[in-house]
Amino acid sequence: MKLTGLNFIGNKRSGSGSKTFKAVNPDNEEEFGPEYLEATEDEINQAVEQAESAFLEYREKNGTEKAEFLEAIADEILALGDQLIDRCMSETGLPKGRLEGERGRTVGQLKLFADILREGSWVDARIDTVNSDSSIKSMKMALGPVGIFGASNFPLAFSVAGGDTASALAAGCTIVVKAHPAHPGTSEMVANAIDKAVKKTSMPAGTFNMVHGPSNDVGKTIVKNPLIKAIGFTGSFAGGKAIFDAAVNRPEPIPVYAEMSSGNPVFLLPGALKEKQDDIAEGLTNSVNLGIGQFCTKPGLVFYEDSDEAEKFLTKVRERFKKTQTGTMLTKGIYTAYKKGVDELLQQEGVQLVAQSEKNGSPNTVIAHLLKVSSDSFLSNELLEEEVFGPATLTISVKDKKNLVKVAENLQGHLTASLFGTKEDLDSYSDLIAVLQRKVGRLIFNGYPTGVAVNHAMIHGGPFPATTDSRTTSVGSSAIDRFVRPVCFQNFPDNQLPAELKDDNPANIWRLIDGERKK
């Protein structure tokens, strides 16, 4: 496929701006073509207008039609074959196996949403005939054009055709994607795949749009356009919070689903430290270093009570960290931020370096860091809870159970919390579990937070600052709820109602009829 460097505005490929940038191979810091054209303000607003006019038609598509569209996107992505993986490897430094797996995840996400669209009950259709003079019927309907910000660390699964795109399109929204400048070619290839699927399934031009640009202005222009009705974002706290602030302070505030930063605390309970020391030392080291620590679910905080077992455990983790093979980070910026983050941590009172891996000479290749601090120091310094994106983790020794609960109570919001323990541990730490339920979106027992299954029950979200909206998830089928709102029809004739609300239930979906779940 010949890459053009252009923006996707409805039917058009457009490049009227003068600012350009190129992809950079993080392995050797070499730029490579083509030149990408940062979208101008005018082009961005055109893209939003295309999304708006397409929305008027796209929102009328039924579940089967939208499912076929999502499946066609999946097919077209697979049809890109190795050229997608090769380009993506050059742009991200990520290994082939990982990217092939991520492509599978991306395709799987699209198919999961296709499944729930075909089934149809997700609209939460409700009909009341008893408690009113006239029929009251409601269901969820699409919000309108949505702005989506691709993430750097999942160039396929959280990018142009990632979870936000899949859930927004499933909901019936049209989209304007801001491609992540760290993988513009991958983005263009996937955009082409979506564009082919748009045509193949006769969706309106403008259902999908994509603009390029490393500058913050590109994103801000999307957020500020009054036709945009919601935002999906995965990235840094600074980036997500800036978008949130811009969106809620618009004349018309809109929902922002920003998944930002998380320390993913791990709690090692006494029984587990005794019985499964080696397993956990191995598993934790792997989880911290998976993908060079560039996962939003990387365990960055590890709590345990002081004990001889804990000391032995830490020694075992230390040995493993020393031998860790790390690799190239996604971008020079991420590499630099990681080094700065670790340096900053090491300057904080009480923080000690327990182990680091060996450095090899390649550019942007980092060292894994295992750090240590007491719970007193941790409790007195907010900075220690901040995410350091990359293969570093901070272990925090706590005096006793009471203090373990106390540090948990003082945690801010995170995506996940993991507990390692025996079943007896869990029973005697139920107060800790109760505390953590308020702090995270997902609680894991004897498992690592990295690896987020894509299914109906998954919640990838959590209280601020993990996300800007804890009421939703960015992974799993209930993510579709982020891009809809309920609309109520009172006393409407059957022929004017959407299929989901018609009397004879032609969509054959589960509905709440006078409070009872029926099909």
Question: Considering the rule CB under 8 A, would residue 275 count as an interface residue with a second copy?
Answer: no
Question: Considering the rule CB under 8 A, would residue 130 count as an interface residue with a second copy?
Answer: yes
- Per-residue binding string, a second copy, 53-82, x by CB under 8 A, is ---x--------------------------
- Per-residue binding string, a second copy, 411-450, x by CB under 8 A, is -xx---------x--xx--x--xx--xx-xxxxxxxx---
Binding positions for a second copy, 84-123, rule CB under 8 A:
115-116, 119, 121
The residue count for binding a second copy (CB under 8 A) is 83
Choose the catalytic residue: 91, 296, 385, 387: 296
Any bridge partners for residue 305, and if so which?
A: 398
Out of 141, 242, 337, 499, point to the residue binding a second copy (CB under 8 A). 141
- Per-residue binding string, a second copy, 461-480, x by CB under 8 A, is x-xxx--xxxxxx---xx--
Choose the catalytic residue: 259, 309, 385, 500: 259
Question: Considering the rule CB under 8 A, would residue 317 count as an interface residue with a second copy?
Answer: no
Angstrom distances, CA of residue 370 to CA of 181, 305, 361? 31, 17, 21
Closer Cβ to a second copy, 283 or 333, answer by number: 283
Q: Residue 358 has what DSSP assignment?
A: P
Question: Considering the rule CB under 8 A, would residue 21 count as an interface residue with a second copy?
Answer: no
Residue of 263, 234, 236, 222 lying closest to 156 (CA atoms):
234
CB of 391 to a second copy, least distance (A): 23
Tokens of 17: 């701006």
What is the rounded CA–CA span in Å between residue 297 and residue 167?
A: 21
Residue 259 annotated to the active site: yes
- Per-residue binding string, a second copy, 336-355, x by CB under 8 A, is --------------------
Any bridge partners for residue 230, and if so which?
A: 146
Cβ atoms of 243 and 277 within 8 Å: the answer is no
Residue 488 annotated to the active site: no
Question: Considering the rule CB under 8 A, would residue 383 count as an interface residue with a second copy?
Answer: no
Q: What is the CA radius of gyration of the chain?
A: 24
Q: Which stretch binds a second copy (CB under 8 A): 13-21, 139-147, 163-171, 338-346?
A: 139-147
Q: Residue 263 has what DSSP assignment?
A: -
CB of 248 to a second copy, least distance (A): 4
Residue of 90, 1, 10, 4 lying closest to 43 (CA atoms):
10
* Cβ atoms within 10 Å of 216's Cβ, excluding its own: 12
Residue of 371, 292, 286, 303 lying closest to 338 (CA atoms):
292
Cβ atoms of 395 and 314 within 8 Å: the answer is yes
Catalytic residues: 259, 296
